[in-house]
């Protein structure tokens, strides 16, 4: 048996013994997506984990804020990560003190927090959103209330156009990986693959979004590409998404707008680290229970607004 097959065999045995549910974000390396019980976006995965009653532990392959969200939604069950160094630079671009300062400058404003935030930031926010539902969440805020949108300026800019709220106070954070996708990358990809629709994530720069046929969350991308009659697509998001699309849309071809949109934090997870965590259980998510309880409120508010 080769070493890859031996790792998979050991991993499957351990996951059964531990009663573990293995979740992988769409930006994870292909080998990690292949061993997951479920592949999806951060909230899809956290909510699926919360609904699952049979697992005894959750192993979340993604970045830390995602595993935290799973732990916030289901505090009675341990959530583990393969590598605790897998942070998200976007989530780190606003601190609790900065949020308190901007709130003080805009008393009465509603803080809408993208799920790509730490538990502390969620705990100090009013309502959460994902890239799939951000416009709906923003529209739910009464017109006479100011909105502070954190932490992603590109998503904020797109959402304010979608929701017709030109007056939003948008935090200055950005995803370094999505920001690596440039206008010229999209133009070059179009020239190389004429006729292929350009599908980009709202975390991309405005000038990149302006060139796209479709702007969508990762779950929206899967839906669009599955339903579109096109056979080839140019994908403007983290490169791991191409693998998920290839699996979910057999027979279609996907070209990354640039190979440089490769998130180093997402790629900290390897098959070996998944196995080691199942073996050693060395990296549980630890949250202050009061922070976790406070962070659950804006997530529940989001679910309430969506009527989901």
Alpha carbons 245 and 305: distance in angstroms, whole number: 29
Q: Shortest CA distance to 84 belongs to which of 239, 286, 271, 279?
A: 286
Among 21, 43, 263, 275, binds ligand SF4 (CB under 6 A): 263
Of the candidate spans 10-18, 171-179, 267-275, 296-304, the one that interacts with ligand SF4 by CB under 6 A turns out to be: 171-179
Alpha carbons 59 and 86: distance in angstroms, whole number: 14
Does the footprint of ligand SF4 cover residue 175 (CB under 6 A)?
Answer: yes
Residue 191 Cβ vs ligand SF4, minimum distance, rounded to whole Å: 26
Alpha carbons 125 and 9: distance in angstroms, whole number: 43
Among 71, 90, 221, 239, binds ligand SF4 (CB under 6 A): 90
Of the candidate spans 12-20, 83-91, 118-126, 298-306, the one that interacts with ligand SF4 by CB under 6 A turns out to be: 83-91
SS3 at position 154: helix
Q: Shortest CA distance to 79 belongs to which of 121, 142, 21, 2?
A: 21
| Count of residues near ligand SF4 by CB under 6 A | 14
- Cβ burial, residue 5 (10 Å; 0-12/13-18/19+): exposed
Decide whether 120 or 232 has the Cβ nearer to ligand SF4. 120
Residue 268 Cβ vs ligand SF4, minimum distance, rounded to whole Å: 10
Does the footprint of ligand SF4 cover residue 73 (CB under 6 A)?
Answer: no
Does the footprint of ligand SF4 cover residue 238 (CB under 6 A)?
Answer: yes
Residue 177 Cβ vs ligand SF4, minimum distance, rounded to whole Å: 4
Does the footprint of ligand SF4 cover residue 79 (CB under 6 A)?
Answer: no
Does the footprint of ligand SF4 cover residue 116 (CB under 6 A)?
Answer: yes
Alpha carbons 295 and 255: distance in angstroms, whole number: 37
Does the footprint of ligand SF4 cover residue 155 (CB under 6 A)?
Answer: no
Among 7, 32, 57, 63, binds ligand SF4 (CB under 6 A): 63
- Cβ burial, residue 244 (10 Å; 0-12/13-18/19+): buried
Among 33, 117, 177, 269, binds ligand SF4 (CB under 6 A): 177
Write phi, then psi, for 105 (nearest 5 degrees): -70, -25
Decide whether 88 or 111 has the Cβ nearer to ligand SF4. 88
Identify whether the C-beta of residue 266 lies closer than 8 Å to the C-beta of residue 240. yes
HSE-CB of 56 using CA atoms within 13 angstroms? 8
Does the footprint of ligand SF4 cover residue 284 (CB under 6 A)?
Answer: no
Q: Which residues pair with 20 in a beta bridge?
A: 57
Decide whether 140 or 258 has the Cβ nearer to ligand SF4. 258
Q: CA-CA-CA-CA torsion for 20, 122, 116, 23, nearest 10 degrees? A: 10
Does the footprint of ligand SF4 cover residue 33 (CB under 6 A)?
Answer: no
Decide whether 68 or 141 has the Cβ nearer to ligand SF4. 68
Residue whose structure tokens are 């995803």: 175
Summarize as ranges the residues that interact with ligand SF4 (CB under 6 A).
27, 63, 88-90, 116, 175-178, 238, 263, 265-266
């Amino acid at each position: 048996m080769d070493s890859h097959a031996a790792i998979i065999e050991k991993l499957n045995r351990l996951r059964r013994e531990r009663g573990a549910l293995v979740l992988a974000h769409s930006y994870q390396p292909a080998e990690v997506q292949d061993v997951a019980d479920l592949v999806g976006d951060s909230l899809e995965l956290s909510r699926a984990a919360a609904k699952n009653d049979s697992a005894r532990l959750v192993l979340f392959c993604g970045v830390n804020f995602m595993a935290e969200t799973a732990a916030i939604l289901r505090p009675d069950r341990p959530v583990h990560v393969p590598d605790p160094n897998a942070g998200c630079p976007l989530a780190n671009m606003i601190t609790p003190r900065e949020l308190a300062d901007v709130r003080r400058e805009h008393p009465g404003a509603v803080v809408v927090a993208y799920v790509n935030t730490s538990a502390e930031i969620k705990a100090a926010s009013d309502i959460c959103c994902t890239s799939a539902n951000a416009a709906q969440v923003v529209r739910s805020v009464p017109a006479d209330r100011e909105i502070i949108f954190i932490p992603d300026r590109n998503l904020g800019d797109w959402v304010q156009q979608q929701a017709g709220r030109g007056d939003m106070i948008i935090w200055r954070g950005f995803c370094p990986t999505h920001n690596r996708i440039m206008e010229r990358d999209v133009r070059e990809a179009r020239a190389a693959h004429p006729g292929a629709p350009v599908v980009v994530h709202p975390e991309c720069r405005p000038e990149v979004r302006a060139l796209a046929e479709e702007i969508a969350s990762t779950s929206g991308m899967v839906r669009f590409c599955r339903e579109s009659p096109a056979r080839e697509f140019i994908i403007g998001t983290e490169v791991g998404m191409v693998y998920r699309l290839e699996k979910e849309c057999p027979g279609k071809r996907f070209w990354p707008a640039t190979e440089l949109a490769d998130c180093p934090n997402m790629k900290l997870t390897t098959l070996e680290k998944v196995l080691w965590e199942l073996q050693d259980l060395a990296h549980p998510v630890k949250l202050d229970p009061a922070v976790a309880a406070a962070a659950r409120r804006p997530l529940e508010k989001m679910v309430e607004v969506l009527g989901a």
